[in-house]
Amino acid sequence: MKLTDIKTFVVGNPPPHFGGRYFVFVKLTTNDGVSGLGEAYCLPFSPHLVAKLIEDMFERYVRGCDPHDIETMWRRIYSAGFTQHPDLTVMGVLSALEMACWDIIGKAAGQPVYKLLGGQVHERLRSYTYIYPRDGDRTDVYHDPDLAALRAEDYLKLGFTALKFDPAGPYSAFDGRQLSLEALDLSERFARQLREAVGTKADLLFGTHGQMTAAGAIRLARRLEPYDPLWLEEPTPPDAPEEMAKVARATTIPVATGERLATKYDFGRLLQAGAAAILQLNLGRVGGLLEAKKIAGMAEVHHAQIAPHLYCGPVVGAANIQLATCSPNFLILEGIETWGGFHSEILKTPIQWSEGYVIPSSEPGLGVELNEAVALAHPYAGDRLHLDMTQYPVV
């Protein structure tokens, strides 16, 4: 079996754009006609350029290779251009290609990928969602704790047992910083009112995006502790795990992080520093499924758990499901509400979600197939990136 063909898709995600402005998918095909899907997450370039980067890597290191030879492909791409460093662009490209290879491997074996990475541990996977806005909202649910509390009750009725929110304000290219007193007060109000709304029926996941210094994060954490969040997410920028470890040591709230990290080397430093109890690796960036399984194993040694990150498309979501299903230290899975909307339209068969849980597919490979007609009918024509940071200091 040899890899012979590649096709990329740059798909615009229609309003309300939950999961990002676009998705970048790749389809690899072998000489005997087996195809596999992959997805790259959040590279800092135009998605059309990202598609070209994926195609370039395929031509240099992947075409003509056996898709089963994951380790060889991984080392060659990781070392491309004399690098051997967790470069997030290279890792995003590699993740998409590696993911597609695993989809092919599973299809060739007639097994879901989780059966090939240790077997099924979990029959169903607990999931969470952000508290999202809706058409007709008169205020911003991201900044209105009263509306967020009402919306939380709606999510409970659907079956969710965990909800994420991020009221701490914008994240900037110039962070970390000290939050303003207004931002601290609003954050505490959100935690208090959401806890009053959900009681003990749901965990609260406090999301931040590296806005704070360690000292600033500790100030925030002390305000949040009475409301017992399941985690405080990425409280400091991701480039200094020893700073995040200061936060972890100073609060009773578990620290979660990892969406902006890649490879076992980044996560190894994180674990050695004692910086996080929950790892939020994104399968479209971290280095692929096998690399993610290695990281999950490293986490087991440190008695840390994994909570795969998803703010992208459903192919990464499907890969997250494969990893979660075969990992003993899986905690919870991020989803975009109930995995409906465009995330289901772009797949031939939607991911199965029921009363707060994802049900792993027993289909071979990743368990999903791209509806190429839908993908081609939604080309991305914009010039903005998947996600942006504020470009000026926040005062």
pTM recorded for the entire structure: 0.98
Distance CA 326, CA 156 (A): 27
Range of the domain at 37: 3-110
Q: Is residue 314 part of a domain?
A: yes
Element (H, E) at 281: none
The tens digit of pLDDT for each residue in 169-202 reads: 999 999 999 999 999 999 999 999 999 999 999 9
Q: Do residues 163 and 77 both lie within one domain?
A: no
CATH number at residue 152: 3.20.20.120
163/50 same-domain check? no
Q: Note the pLDDT of residue 395.
A: 84
Residue 163 located in a structural domain? yes
**Which CATH number do you get for residue 48?**
3.30.390.10
Q: Is residue 226 part of a domain?
A: yes
255-257 and 162-165 as β-strands: parallel, antiparallel, unpaired? unpaired
Q: Do the Cβ atoms of 236 and 203 come closer than 8 Å?
A: no
Q: What is the pLDDT of residues 262-303, one digit of tens each?
A: 999 999 999 999 999 999 999 999 999 999 999 999 999 999
Structural contact between residues 159 and 198, judged by C-beta atoms closer than 8 angstroms: no
User: How many structural domains compose the chain?
Assistant: 2
Q: Are residues 74 and 190 in the same domain?
A: no
* pLDDT, the chain, mean: 97
Torsion of CA 168, 171, 175, 180, to 10 degrees: -30
Whether residue 130 sits in one domain with residue 83? no
Mean pLDDT over 32-38 rounds to 98
Dump pLDDT digits (tens) for 58-104.
999 999 999 999 999 999 999 999 999 999 999 999 999 999 999 99
Helix axes 289-301, 314-325, angle to 10 degrees: 40
Q: Give 101-130 as a DSSP string.
A: HHHHHHHHHTSBHHHHTT----SSEEEEEE
Q: Is residue 328 pLDDT above 90, yes or no?
A: yes
Q: What confidence tens digit (pLDDT) does each residue in 345-392 have?
A: 999 999 999 999 999 999 999 999 999 999 999 999 999 999 999 999
The pLDDT value recorded for residue 23 is 98
Domain identity same for 60 and 205: no
164 membership: H or E segment, kind and range: strand 162-165
Q: Within this chain, do residues 236 and 132 fall inside the same structural domain, yes or no? A: yes
Amino acid 343: pLDDT: 97
pLDDT of residue 347: 98
Considering only CA atoms, which of 168, 294, 290 is closest in space to residue 279? 294
Note whether 97 and 186 are same-domain residues.
no
Does 92 lie in the same domain as 124? no
**pLDDT tens track for 218-254:** 999 999 999 999 999 999 999 999 999 999 999 999 9
Residue 383, in any domain of the structure:
no
| Contact status, residue 271 vs residue 261, Cβ threshold 8 Å | no
Read off the DSSP letter of residue 305: E
Averaged over 155-164, what is the pLDDT? 98
CA distance 226 to 188: 10
